[in-house]
Amino acid sequence: MRKRSCGVLLHITSLPSPYGVGDLGAGAYRFADFLAKAKQGFWQILPLNPTDPALGSSPYYSPSAFANNTMLINPDLIVQNGLLEKNDIESIPSLLNERVDYRNATPYKKKLFYKTYERFKENRSNNYGYEKFCLENSYWLEDYALFVVLKEHFHGQVWSEWPREIRDRKPESLQILKEQHQDRIGLEKFLQHVFYQQWTSFKKYCNNKGIQIIGDMPIYVCYDSADVWANPDLFKLNENKQPSFVAGVPPDYFSKTGQLWGNPVYQWKRLKETGYNWWIQRIKHNLNLFDMIRVDHFRGFVAYWEVASGEETAINGRWVEAPAEDFFTTLRKRFSHLPIIAEDLGIITDNVREIMRHFEFPGMKVLQFAFSGNISTNPYAPHNHVKDCIIYTGTHDNNTTKGWFEKDATKEERENLFHYLGREVSVQNINWEFIKMAMLSVANLTIIPMQDILGLGEEARMNRPATTEGNWVWRLLPDQLTPALTQILREMTEIYGRS
């Protein structure tokens, strides 16, 4: 962040792979090679946490804030490690290439995972790495593996509906279940180890090519998660271990009823009493995975909107202050390097900006927001940018730039854009015009979604907020990474001093 650079936003699931879901195999390494040839210094991804098909496979709604998505494990790399034979992975079912195919990929990979684990158990002579991983990650791994198995055992019930002694984590009752499901628990721990092995090798490859990985960390966790089940005192829950209050945002220009997310809110008083230990563990865990962390809904660390459980909208909520200064001061003492990017989109108050300034956390600017209202004072307009920020053409929650221009931009926004550029532009060129503006910006870091580099329309959008169908399924096709595209991106990167 101290020099001009740029990078690309693309989630791992969007990579090419013959296994239905983008993974950490050859497609990931080829994309890293593309970034290096195009002189890109950063690769931003979405959260790596496990996803749930019942929640639309969103990486922002996960049963764990620490575990990783084992669907991103690549079978070819398991073959290379000797735990599968080549013929074990040859009978690949008919899987989609142009879209993420969770429905068919999941049972296929699970079958391979069971076989891999059985081979691993047959030869425990070289399991030092596994034992070391389990020991170093026991503070979250034990609870997560047990939680996954208990969810299966209780047929998917929310954990607060489990038998009281299991809901309340009575040691003797948990021990019985651990013994009954020892092998299944071992499988979950083993798969987390396999993911970590593949991820560590892949990140090292990227770093050696001069590419830093920007991870994504949602501020809140899901209620039906190992985190809340194992740490109920850290959240505002009632006597039945159900949320007393849930998170959201109040009514604003974009929504008359606000947004009701449903995540349990933190019991910050209790967190402070523990020295913020849970958060310190979470930050440490993420810094072990990534070079930088984008924190989603950063303003929630300063003040958060809580709504009583049972409300149907976010209207009847209230702002509650959080101990932001004490919290980040504690983190600063614990971590000599705290590379956090604050997601500060939307209505941000002065006290949030002050925390960001005091702790030197860069914020975000999105060009799609730059052409509404009075452009001269619009903070997203390029002439109002500052060095210490990250400029995006759009994010995973936005339409693609071409889709925005065709479908979302108002007549006023298009006219303001044309006036700003000094000429009209066509839909065929709008993506490169936005990329050029982002590159020209004084902001030290520019991040461009891969869909905008390819000039794709609304069909390539990653997520539509407040919807649950058709999200998180866009895929990059292997033949889209052409030498011509690499050259265009490299030349633009060099011209604007970002290589």
149-186 pLDDT, tens digit each = 999 999 999 999 999 999 999 999 999 999 999 999 99
Whose tokens are 């050259």? That residue is 487
- C-alpha distances in angstroms, 186 versus 99, 151, 178, 189, 278? 32, 15, 10, 5, 24
Q: Taking every pair of C-alpha atoms in the chain, what is the biggest distance, in angstroms?
A: 73
Q: What pLDDT does 54 receive?
A: 82
What pLDDT digit, counting tens, does each position of 385-429 carry? 999 999 999 999 999 999 999 999 999 999 999 999 999 999 999
DSSP secondary structure code for residue 470 in this structure = S
Q: What are the tens digits of pLDDT across the range 268-326?
A: 999 999 999 999 999 999 999 999 999 999 999 999 999 999 999 999 999 999 999 99
Catalytic residue, chosen from 188, 343, 413, 433, is 343
DSSP helix/strand/coil, 259: strand
The reply to whether 343 belongs to the active site is yes
Confidence grade of residue 343 (pLDDT, cut at 50, 70, 90): very high
> Rounded to an integer, what distance in angstroms lies between the CA atom of residue 237 and that of residue 242?
5
Active site residue 397: yes
List the catalytic residue out of 291, 397, 406, 458. 397
Contact by Cβ (8 Å): 220, 193: no
pTM above 0.95, yes or no: yes
Query: pLDDT by residue (tens digit) across 127-152?
Result: 889 999 999 999 999 999 999 999 99
| pLDDT above 90 as % of the chain | 92
Catalytic hit among 188, 296, 306, 413: 296
DSSP state of 66: S
* Token pair 């060009």: residue: 367
Domains of the chain: 5-362+444-495 (3.20.20.80)
Given a cut of 70, whether residue 110 has pLDDT beyond it is yes
pLDDT of residue 253: 63
Per-residue DSSP letter, 405 = I
Cβ–Cβ under 8 Å, residues 289 and 199: yes
Mean pLDDT throughout 216-242? Answer: 97
Contacts 24+ apart (CB under 8 A), 130-133: 130/190, 130/193, 133/192, 133/193, 133/196
